[in-house]
Amino acid sequence: MKKLTVFSLLFSLLVAWNSSAQTKIELTHQENAPIISKHIYGHFAEHLGKCIYEGFYVGENSTIPNSAGVRKDIIEALKELQIPNLRWPGGCFADTYHWMDGIGDLDKRPTIVNTWWGGTTEDNSFGTHNFLNLCKELGAEPYLSGNVGSGGVQELADWVQYTNFKGKSPMSDLRRENGREEPWGVKYWGIGNEAWGCGGNMRAEYYVDIYRKYATFMSNADVDGGLYKIASGANDDDYNWTEVLMKNIPKSMLQGVALHHYTVIDWADKGPDIDFNEETYFKSMKQSWLMEELITKHTAIMDKYDAEKEVDLIVDEWGGWYDVDKEKSRGVLYQQNTMRDAMIAGMNLNIFNNHADRVKMANLAQTVNVLQAVILTDDEKMILTPTYHVMNMYKVHQDATLLPLKFNSPKYSYGGESLPALTVSASQNSENLTHISFTNIDAKSNHEITIDLNELDIKTISGSILTSTSLQDYNSFNNPSKITPKNFEDYTLKRGILTVSLPPFSVVVLKALQD
DSSP string, 112-152: EEETTTTTEEE---S-HHHHHHHHHHHT-EEEEEE--SSS-
Spell out, as residue ranges, where the chain has pLDDT lower than 50: 1-19
* Distance in angstroms between the alpha carbons of the first and the last residue of the chain: 57
The residue from 46, 122, 141, 194 that is catalytic is 194
The residue from 279, 317, 431, 489 that is catalytic is 317
Q: Give me the pLDDT at residue 57, please.
A: 98
For residues 375 and 54, what is the distance between their CA atoms, to the nearest angstrom? Answer: 12
For residues 316 and 40, what is the distance between their CA atoms, to the nearest angstrom? Answer: 9
Provide the 10 A C-beta neighbour count for residue 167.
Answer: 10
**Contact yes or no for 394/388 (Cβ under 8 A):** no
**Contact yes or no for 168/191 (Cβ under 8 A):** no
Pick from 319, 441, 331: which is nearest to 385 by CA?
A: 319
The continuous run of DSSP H or E covering 413 comes out as strand 411-414
Q: Give me the pLDDT at residue 190, please.
A: 98
Q: Write down the pTM of the prediction.
A: 0.94
Pick from 338, 360, 345: which is nearest to 274 by CA?
A: 338
* Bridge partners, 235 (sequence order): 260
60 has catalytic annotation: no
CA–CA distance from 306 to each of 240, 301, 311, 360, 402 (Å)? 16, 9, 7, 15, 22
Pick from 47, 200, 189: which is nearest to 111 by CA?
A: 47
Checking DSSP bridges between strand 359-365 and strand 497-502, what pairing results, if any?
Answer: unpaired
For residues 37 and 156, what is the distance between their CA atoms, to the nearest angstrom? Answer: 27
194 has catalytic annotation: yes
For residues 387 and 319, what is the distance between their CA atoms, to the nearest angstrom? Answer: 10
Structural domains in the chain plus CATH codes: 21-31+404-513 (2.60.40.1180), 38-398 (3.20.20.80)
Pick from 360, 382, 372: which is nearest to 333 by CA?
A: 372
Residues 6+ apart with CB under 8 A from 451: 24, 25, 27, 436, 497, 498, 500
